[in-house]
Chain A
Amino acid sequence: MVFRTAILGVILCGLWACSDTGTGVTVSGTNESEADDTRNTDGACETDAEFMANRAWPRVLSQCAACHNDGGLAGASALILRNSQAALDENFNTTLSYNNAYPELLLDKPSENNTDHGGGIIYQSSDDNYAIMSELIARFTEPVSSCELSEDTPSSGSNLDTRSLIDKLSLLSPAQTYREAALLLSGYLPTDTELELVNDSNLKSKIRALMTGDNFNAFLREAANDQLLTMKWADSRTSGLSALNGEYFYPHVSSRIGPLEEAVENASTDEARQTAQQAVHDAYTNTNLALAQEPLRLISHVVAQEHPYSEVLTANYILVNPYTNDVFNTGLNFSDPLDANDWKEAQINSGYRNGQDLPHAGILTSPMYLARYPSTDTNRNRARSRWTYYFFLGVDIEGLAIRPMNSDSLMDVDNPTLNNPDCAVCHEIMDPVAGAFQNWGNDGQFRDQCGWFPDSEHPQGGEWLCDRDALPWTGYKEFFDPYVAGDLWYRDMRSVGFSTNELPANQQNTSLAWLARQMVEDDRFAMGTVRFWFKGLLAREPTSLPSNPDDLQYESELAAFNIDNLFIEELANAFKAGSAGTASNGILNLKDLFVDMIASPLFRGQATQQDLNADEQHALLQTGSGRLLTPEQLNRKLNALLGASWSHVWDTSRNQLTNDFYGFYGGIDSDGVTDRNTQLNTLMATVIERFSSEMVCRVVIDEFEKTQSLRLLFSEVSINDTPQTDSGATNIKQALSHLITRLWGSEQLNQVEIDAAYDLFLNLRNERIENNATTYLSTNEAQELNDNNDEFCQLDWENEDALRQDSNQVLRPWMGVLMYLVSDYKVMYL
């Protein structure tokens, strides 16, 4: 007999009670006689709720949901699940309904038993997962809502419940969160007074207020480029100008550079030639940079204007600065033709071949976006479709190709993308969107192809005309089969469209603008936006759904996926509804999305409430603080903390962190290197060693040359303060407190850290005194290579008042202490 008890249910409800959305699986019609079928692999009784949470969902149905979700690859099938652990009850009922409507298919489809499955073979009859699905089906007819209480077999349910895991983290305080957000988003260090005023109720508005200015715009562009990678075109080896393919398509492309090059030719003196060559170089550099930045600037423009983020796709304009304005001949006027930071909305209406008005659709029609994701005559814009889905809807079509495909299908040459069901599963959603790029050629030019067009006397072509379409003549149009003159898209592919909608006939010329409107109306646009900015805000991609339940850490990886997925859903829903952030700026406001992302445990998790077991540790491995800053972010942070950047000793305009050592420190070139290294390695650690060694000398001297009250770092101490007097020691300790607070954050300020820093100061000074070290701040006293007592510093020998010597032997110790502080974990990581 089954002794039904509420105790286990209480445990489970306790777990789910932590969830905003999960209420547990509720199953009616319990059959009390089937308790013998309700035991898990350890022999313990499992309710349907437990079975769903512990086995059916994590091992099988979560895999199904990767494609079988609304808008997913199998979004048109009869089985549509919610891709979320928070929807266990809903998914249980959905699966039950599907099983009622299509008996046997839950087993036969995924095992391709006498039927095709678009996703290939998921499991076979001998697999554990087949047995799990069999048991799930059995439970549909013989449900179990609670178990007999047994002393030796209570099932505790999963300890990897999403909400329970999140609740194990404590969060950064509002002040800490604000400080970290300020340094990340705007390279700004809030004052102590500002931090004292931050609390839970005003945190979101405070964070939102950080999102202005040059540093924030730079952050936006970097984060966007980490995805779009259009900065590839800023490099002279892969220049944006070359990607435009010259004057044939953009007749004004040389309107600025051409005359400058003539000036070089006509220069009458070497000096004039050098000046003219520099002007040519500057024009090339600035034009390529502007071209590369254009789609990124569009994003920052939409954000700065507080417009709905959907405008990045629907914008009926392109952004230009004076350099690209010349290239595209938009007709705008700029007061300063050399001001590369002056960006305006424009339309290309006379700057393209034959003076055509280009139909703008935000990023989708950006020349550099189209060039960065080029096509070929056989790829037919599919790559553009794949990346457009990925960037803006969060759908990774290619990333879902994780199971072996049928070899016959892979070798099928009979138009398999249209005819072969194995191929169609992806191409059904990919190819219609590829078609929406129909007006844009392989390299990104508008209707760049030519062909013979029929006249009354020549039905197979009487006149060679160009600029009518982007379909290749050779290999397609030349056969007039299936091509028909006047077509804009391939007849042997799926029709142009999106989801279930076909492109209306009257919008053939503006198909990408139509696509953009369709996409931003799609439910996935909000989720796609969260996914797009995940890397920028959190320094990582969202966790992928693990695909192999046999992997050792499958359960914890699934838990990590569920954590991210839960937040992505919540963030997207608020973003879409206009309730994100401060909830007062309308729908799809990106700043408000950023506010919510920063206020979430994904950003703020900073400590664990309790000891975690190995699975829990693995599940939380990517959550919370502890992310390595990028070189650009670190550069802004150093500027905020020290008031200086790491410049080259002989060229203060050359930033070493973002130039010479950029690649070493995890930077990307947007071409061959497209992923930032987020895990510190040895060479990256030596970059930290070098900048901390190099920078501190000038920083300390510059500080002590200022009036004490005007200093950023050493306002509590004078050059005459030494540990030999009580007041000196006190002032030194106060200065150390200030430095620790400023560089590491106030939560790091404690007596242990003050003492450690003070001891270092003392030891450094004592060592100098005991060893009769020079009082000059730069010395090569032994005049030999690698002298152990060498101390380089670039001193100002022309200014009599400049600091060059320190008879108190405190400046060099301060340099050592600053090196210790600035190379710390709390500076490199957020």
Chain B
Amino acid sequence: MKRRDFIKTLAAAGLLSSQPWLAKPARAATLTPYRGNFYVSISADGGWDVTSLCDPKASSAINHWANNQSIQTIVNSPIQYAPFAHNEAFFQNHHQNMLVVNGIDSQTNAHEAGVRHTWSGRLAHGYPSFSAIAAATLGPNLPLSYISNGGYKETAGITQYTLMQDPTSLKKLVFPNQFLDYDTNGDWDPAKQYHRNAAMDLIQQAKLDRLTRLRAQSQLTPKQVSSLSDLFNARVGADQLAPLAETMPEELVSNIDSDGQWNPLMRQAQIALAAYEAGLCVAADLSMWGFDTHANHDEEHTTALQKLQNGINYLWEEATRRGIENRLVVFISSDFGRTPTYNDGDGKDHWPVSSAIIMAKEQRWTNKVVGATTSQHETLNINPTTLELDKNGVQLQPKHIQQAMRELAGIENHEISLRFPLNAESIRFF
């Protein structure tokens, strides 16, 4: 007797509800795919030199390129850039989609503090990253709401992050009951799953019942409560991964970029976009190493910036190929800046003044520059409303950028955001 025939028989006999193996296991409510903006934060790890990027200084003491080249401009754009790395192509191609914020004072020269400050808006420990807040507020039930690739990933308990660096085996996790280790072109036709569906339904129901019993115990420690909650939520989310199989690429992009450099950023971007397109992800952190150039700065920083720019180019190209470029918001920054002078080893050391680049497709707030620095790369205050230079105005700090990102995502007044107040003046970036 086939399963469907058996069910008909039981139904006719009025026995359907008494057969436990026919009861539908408890599952999460059908997931509503997330279709809001996708927030991608890209960290230039180690402290980037914005005087050779988006806040160019044409002083040969600050930049060797100034010996024979000048600051580059773009027609119909206030954005300027240094003749360095792949800047020309990068800014010429993307300036319409860019808000450049210069003159951000990170208030530290220490890496860990700089990373914390830039990505959480506070020097002290304990605040979540913007990505974590976006994930917790905009997609709290999504199984891959926050994807991290290292870097600052503090969640402060409001969400969980997922590391997805190696997608080779991902399909096996999307379909954990499927046997996938066979040659699809071979002449052997093996069983395609480990357990029949009816058995899996019974097992899952038993597991859910067991977990319910565990969670119902009295006098659990707070740690046990938290762990059991993690397990419950993770299992519920596992049922919702199937769309990922549709969007995950059959072939991963190479780890070698067009300059022949090993470049993990492209693959990080590819996987994050696939998760977003599947409706499972709100925010992703990507990271690129190599910016802490205390020696041989020009050569090493050129390489680091080129890799960053190649990665960002790929991110936009892949988003466009997937048709989701209009929902992509990219936030790029670093621990802090680098000194406006070379050290004895032709390197540049740590400098608190930095920049940020926020990208989105042709917004009214893009193709714009906010904030400025002196010729020696010192911060200048701005008026928070007019954005003009104003010595009595506001000195930009990471908290202002974090506040701006919250406002851009429309979550600045969400209860979760308010738990982590930034006490930042609202700057009219947008």
User: Which A residues have a C-beta under 8 Å from some C-beta of B?
Assistant: 169-170, 237, 376-379, 398-399, 401-405, 407, 410-411, 413, 472, 474-476, 544, 546-548, 551-552, 557, 605-610, 612, 617-618, 620-628, 648-650, 660-661, 663-664, 666, 672-675, 677, 679-687, 689-690, 693-694, 697, 752-753, 756-757, 759-760, 763-764, 766-768, 770-773, 778-780, 783, 785-793, 812, 815-816, 819-820, 823-825, 828-829
Contact = CB atoms under 8 A, between A and B. Distances in A.
- Ordered nearest first, which 5 A-B pairs have the shortest CB separation? A475-B344, A682-B237, A685-B234, A682-B143, A689-B176
Contact of A690 (B107, B125, B168, B176): B176
A413 B173 contact: no
Nearest to A830: B227
A820 B210 contact: yes
Contact of B221 (A620, A759, A824): A620
Given A664-B166, A771-B6, A551 B126 contact: yes
Contacts of A753: 210, 213
B-side interface size class: 35 or more
Interface of B: 1-3, 6, 19-21, 105, 107-113, 123-126, 143-144, 149-150, 153, 155, 160-166, 168-169, 172-174, 176-179, 181, 189-199, 202-203, 206-207, 209-211, 213-214, 219-228, 230-231, 233-235, 237-238, 240-241, 262, 264, 287, 289, 294-295, 339, 341, 343-345, 347, 349, 351-352, 378-379, 419
A770 B199 CA distance: 12
Contacts, number: 308
Given A663-B165, A816-B195, 15 more contacts: A170-B219, A398-B111, A399-B112, A401-B110, A402-B124, A411-B378, A474-B344, A683-B162, A756-B210, A759-B20, A764-B21, A771-B1, A787-B192, A825-B228, A828-B231
B224 A625 contact: yes
B295 A376 contact: yes
Contact of B238 (A677, A689, A760, A793): A689
A547 B125 contact: yes
Contacts of B149: 672
Contacts of B169: 660-661, 664
Given A682-B143, A683-B144, A820 B231 contact: no
B93 to A, nearest CB: 28
A790 B193 contact: yes
A557 B124 CA distance: 14
B183 to A, nearest CB: 11
A660 B240 CA distance: 22
Given A756-B206, A763-B202, A377 B295 contact: yes
Contacts of A752: 213
Nearest to B280: A682
Given A379-B294, A407-B105, A681 B113 contact: no
Given A621-B222, A664-B166, A682-B237, A626 B227 contact: yes
B347 A378 contact: yes
B366 to A, nearest CB: 30
Contact of A401 (B123, B126, B234): B123
B123 A476 contact: no
B193 A791 contact: yes
9 contacts: A376-B347, A410-B107, A609-B219, A672-B149, A693-B176, A757-B206, A763-B20, A791-B191, A825-B227
Contacts of A620: 221-223
Given A377-B295, A620-B223, A664-B169, A403 B144 contact: no
B337 to A, nearest CB: 10
A760 B202 contact: yes
A682 B194 contact: no
Contacts of B207: 820, 823-824
Contacts of B237: 681-682, 685
A415 to B, nearest CB: 12
B109 A405 contact: yes
Contacts of A475: 343-345
Contacts of B344: 377-378, 472, 474-476
A237 B255 CA distance: 12
A413 B126 CA distance: 32
Contact of B199 (A377, A404, A627, A816): A816
Contact of A767 (B108, B109, B202): B202
A399 B108 CA distance: 12
A783 B105 CA distance: 65
